[in-house]
Amino acid sequence: MFGRRALQTCRRPRILLSRPPAAYRRPYSTGDTRNAVGVFTPKSAALFIVTGLGLLWYFRHEKAKLIEQQEQERASKSYGRPMVGGPFSLQTHKGGIYTEKDLLGKWSLVYFGFTNCPDICPAELDKMGLFLDAAQKKHGNVFNPVFVSVDPARDSPARIAVYLKDFHPGFTGLVGTYQEVKAMCKAYRVYFSTPPNTKPEDDYLVDHSIFVYLMDPKGQFVEAFGQAVSVEDMLVKVEDAIKEFR
């Protein structure tokens, strides 16, 4: 059935393995046996090993350094920097214009509240005052406390000016139109809510988030201090931030 030809085609084709001409042979296969290793002399072997070991040591060292650096970063910051802050333009309690650029150069403490606040805002502003007195003694005049009103319907710059007399003299009070305040609150992730259908002369409270934002001299967000954070805790956190700041 299967003829010889068929069997032959099934076989692997034979490759012609004739010795290449002398000209194509590699140098170490020719000549005398003393030079059997060719370029791979003891000297080059030593060089190869030393270079290899050197590179190995270098990479291991670099990797260890990188891991150490990452550990340090992780220790100093347990999370990434949140996107808090951004451009804004409001009026100061003295009547000037105040933008995000006015936060630059100093460590800013930004608090959002309103002057008709029953007890939390004044308590937080007093806490900021205590912090500022202690922190300025230690770090100098490098702080910029800011009070932003979330009640633009009632809190005029003049009203805020009167209100701030009860607190640390360094405070700058800010307010603007409802849209301007709303925009800044959005950038700072601050919630505030005025009861619906209220007139400026009404007696109402504004619900709002209670945080003191710490911004570094580059205007970048560092930390948000809640109500439960004590002055001592704030001092420690701020000192760490100042040390870490470059």
Partner 1 sequence: MGWWPFSSSPKQDSPPTRTERQICWDSRDAYYACLDGVGVIRAGTEAPSACKAERKAYEGSCAQSWVKYFNERRRIAFAQKDMIAQANAQNAAATGKTTQ
Which residues are at the interface with partner 1 (CB under 8 A)? 115-116, 118-119, 122, 154-155, 158-160, 162-163, 166, 200-201, 203-205
What is d(CA 65, CA 60) in angstroms, rounded to the nearest whole number?
Answer: 9
Q: Tell me whether residue 32 or residue 119 sits nearer to partner 1 (CB atom).
A: 119
Kindly state the smallest distance separating residue 96's Cβ from partner 1, in Å: 20
Kindly state the smallest distance separating residue 166's Cβ from partner 1, in Å: 4
Kindly state the smallest distance separating residue 206's Cβ from partner 1, in Å: 10
Rounded to the nearest angstrom, the gap between the alpha carbon of residue 244 and the centroid of all alpha carbons in its chain is 12
Please report the beta strands in the chain, taking only residues with DSSP state E, as ranges in sequence order: 89-92, 97-99, 107-113, 143-149, 172-175, 192-193, 207-208, 212-215, 221-225
Token pair, residue 50, equals 């030393």
Residue corresponding to tokens 């009026």? 91
Residue 51's contacts (CB-CB under 8 Å, 6 or more residues apart) are none
What is d(CA 175, CA 148) in angstroms, rounded to the nearest whole number?
Answer: 6
Q: Tell me whether residue 89 or residue 156 sits nearer to partner 1 (CB atom).
A: 156
Q: Tell me whether residue 161 or residue 235 sits nearer to partner 1 (CB atom).
A: 161
Q: Is 117 annotated as a binding residue?
A: yes
Q: Is 121 annotated as a binding residue?
A: yes
Kindly state the smallest distance separating residue 246's Cβ from partner 1, in Å: 40
What is d(CA 195, CA 197) in angstroms, rounded to the nearest whole number?
Answer: 7
Kindly state the smallest distance separating residue 114's Cβ from partner 1, in Å: 9
Q: Tell me whether residue 109 or residue 154 sits nearer to partner 1 (CB atom).
A: 154
SS3 15: coil
Q: Tell me whether residue 192 or residue 221 sits nearer to partner 1 (CB atom).
A: 192
Q: Tell me whether residue 73 or residue 203 sits nearer to partner 1 (CB atom).
A: 203
Residue corresponding to tokens 């912090």? 131
Q: Which of 234, 236, 233, 228 is nearest to 214 (CA)?
A: 234
Q: Which of 193, 184, 213 is nearest to 90 (CA)?
A: 184
Kindly state the smallest distance separating residue 117's Cβ from partner 1, in Å: 9
Q: Is 208 annotated as a binding residue?
A: yes
Binding residues for Cu cation: 117, 121, 208
